[in-house]
Structure 1
Amino acid sequence: MEGKTSVEELSENETVDYVEEKSKKRRKPPEPGVIYLSKIPALMNVKTVKDIFSQYGEIGKIFLQPNEKAPNTKKGRLFTEGWVEFLNKKIAKQVAESLNNTLIGGKKKSRWHDEMWNIKYLHRFKWAHLNERLAYEKAVHKQRLRTEIAQVKRVANFHIQNSETRQKRKAIKERKQKQGKSVESDDEKGDYEIAQRDTEEETMAKKRKLDSVGEISKGGKRKKEGINKKSFFARTSLIQNMFSGGLDEGD
């Protein structure tokens, strides 16, 4: 009968719809991929990078690391490295493989015509990883700044204290001069000398030296006394001989 579908036709249509619906479920959206640029040519900015790489595929996000050591020029800011996210990781891999170590090219008048790309595909790298890295570097930079500021403050406080001490000493010196008191400068005071106590060996050596000097002085005194006595008796015997006619008292 016309106008009626058979059971077989109905089952075939349902089977086709089920297969199409299942294939749609199996299709997953492409995963994004990130490439790393280890060098950014001078005066190249985010817009320029996006215009160049968007020719190969749809771009998601771009981040260029500013060069903090180099001053900003009138023509633009300088960057050291960069990350580019493609919405399809297969395209990101192809771009990294085909453009790595090749000339940037473009128009001959372009300042980057003879520059070379240095590109690497970051396997299993997500944009969230880059955010974590940037947050960590920012925290480290802040900590380094806090440390440097604290060091500068310590040095400044040290010089301030020294200056205040000098001013106090100067005020005391002027007050003493007005009162007519003698003022001794720091140069006149000189350095303090601390005598070290002698060791036992040094003490015994000094004692032996003093004893030897005493003995020498005593021996010389005794020798001198003996000579004086001898000369006294010689003079006495000479006088006696003169008055006694050269005879002893016993004769």
Structure 2
Amino acid sequence: MYTEGFAGPSEKVVKPLTPEDLARFKAAQERTGVVYISRIPPGMRPTKVRHLMSAYGEVGRVYLQPEDPKRTYLRRKFTSTKKVHFTEGWVEFKDKKVARSVAEMLNAQSIGGKKGSRWRDDVWTMKYLPKFKWSMLTEQIAHEAAVHAARLRMELSQSKREQQEYLRNVELARVLDKRAERKKSKAADGPVERMDGVEKPAKRERADGERPLKKRRKEKQEEAIDESTQKQLNSVLGNIF
């Protein structure tokens, strides 16, 4: 809420470039030159590279490419070196003539410095890049980042598909094992006959000499009747004789 008498937050006003300023900016960009360093000594950081290169001319921007994260992880895990390492770098000089002369003079030469310094015996490996501007480097870095992101997405998608296929195979194996166990248990219980669409256990075959249960009961009842009839007949005959 705005209250009269109090100044609002200060805002930075960006003034558009005049045609003269734009022309001067383009001319300054045309005068710049870029030197490519193919190898950065272990442990050397951008500030050190700028300090060393500034001894030969006015330096603009410096960019060093960090090493691969996997390599950094392995190096920190299995070695005592924990600092960030860089693999390659680009140095922009305000004057391309200075950039060309620096690359020709320092390439394949030792870094030097005070006796006992860390990089005294390391060797520069650099090259001047004609007609190469810093904007091209930023475009290249953005393109490489996009390619890396696309490759990472593809690897993740492939890993997801492999995981889903593995889970499907595990589920299929479980179903097949369960089905095999069911068939094995049915085979152990005996053959099964189907009646009216319903599975029912088949009648068990009788062993030799074995009679059905109902028949055995009927024979016992007949034997009991015969015994009762015989007793009655004996009683009647006893009374007559």
Residue 166 (str. 1) matches residue 167 (str. 2):
no
* In 1: Cα distance, 2:108 partner to 2:183 partner: 81
Task: Determine the structure 2 residue equivalent to 1:181.
Answer: 186
1:33 is aligned to 2:33: yes
- Specify the code of the residue in structure 2 equivalent to 1:121: Y
* Unaligned 5+ runs, structure 2: 1-23, 189-241
Cα deviation for residue 75 of structure 1 reads: 4.1
CA contact (8 A) 1:43 1:75 kept: no
Return the letter of the residue paired with 1:84. Answer: V
Q: CA deviation at 1:175?
A: 4.3
Give 1:174 deviation, angstroms.
4.2
**Could you give the per-residue CA deviations for residues 88-116 of structure 1, whole angstroms, max 9, x where no partner exists?**
21211121111111110012211211111
1:150 aligns with 2:157: yes
* Alpha-carbon distance in 2 for matches of 1:122, 1:35: 6
Q: 2:82, 2:94 → 1: CA distance? A: 31
Higher relative contact order (CA 8 A, sep 6+): 2
Tell me the amino acid that sits aligned with residue 181 of structure 1. K
**Following the alignment from structure 2 to structure 1, what is the Cα–Cα distance between the partners of residues 82 and 43?**
7
Question: CA shift at 1:85, angstroms?
Answer: 0.4
Structure 2 counterparts to residues 89-108 of structure 1, below 5 A:
89-108=96-115
The whole-number CA distance in structure 1 between the counterparts of 2:169 and 2:82 is 48
Q: Does 1:54 align with 2:46?
A: no
Cα shift at 1:181: 0.8
Aligned to 1:10: none
Q: Secondary structure at the match of 2:57?
A: coil
TM-score (norm 1): 0.57
Alignment match of 2:141 (pick from 122, 134, 140):
134
Kept after mapping to 2: 8 A contact 1:70/1:78: no
Q: Is the 8 Å Cα contact of residues 34 and 89 (structure 1) preserved in structure 2?
A: yes
Alignment of 1:81-120 (within 5 A): 81-120=88-127
Kindly provide the amino acid, as one letter, of the partner of residue 45 in structure 1: R
1:194-233 equivalent positions in 2, closer than 5 A: none
Structure 1 residue aligned with 2:205: none
Q: TM-score, normalised by structure 2?
A: 0.59
Q: Distance in 1 between matches of 2:86 and 2:174?
A: 51
Rounded Cα–Cα distance in structure 1 between residues aligned with 2:146 and 2:169: 35
Equivalent residue number for residue 67 of structure 2: 67
Kindly state the Cα deviation for residue 173 of structure 1 after the two structures are TM-superposed. 3.7
**Aligned amino acid, residue 158 of structure 1:** E
1:44 CA displacement: 0.9
Aligned residue for 2:138, secondary structure, equals: helix
Taking a change above 3 Å as real, the CA distance of residues 75 and 154 of structure 1, as seen in their structure-2 partners, is closer
Task: Map Cα deviations across residues 192-213 of structure 1 (whole Å, 9 max, x no partner).
Answer: xxxxxxxxxxxxxxxxxxxxxx
**Highest CA radius of gyration, 1 or 2?**
1
Q: Measure, in 1, the Cα distance between the counterparts of 2:71 and 2:52.
A: 25
Aligned to 1:121: 128
Unaligned runs of 5+ in 1: 1-24, 184-251
Identity percentage over the alignment? 45
SS at match of 2:143: helix
| Regions of 4+ moved over 2 Å | 72-75, 169-177
Task: Name the CA distance, whole Å, in 1 between partners of 2:64 and 2:125.
Answer: 14
CA deviation string 1:119-148 (max 9, x = no partner): 111101000111111111111111211221
Q: State whether residues 50 and 62 of structure 1, in contact with CA within 8 Å, keep that contact through their aligned partners in structure 2.
A: yes
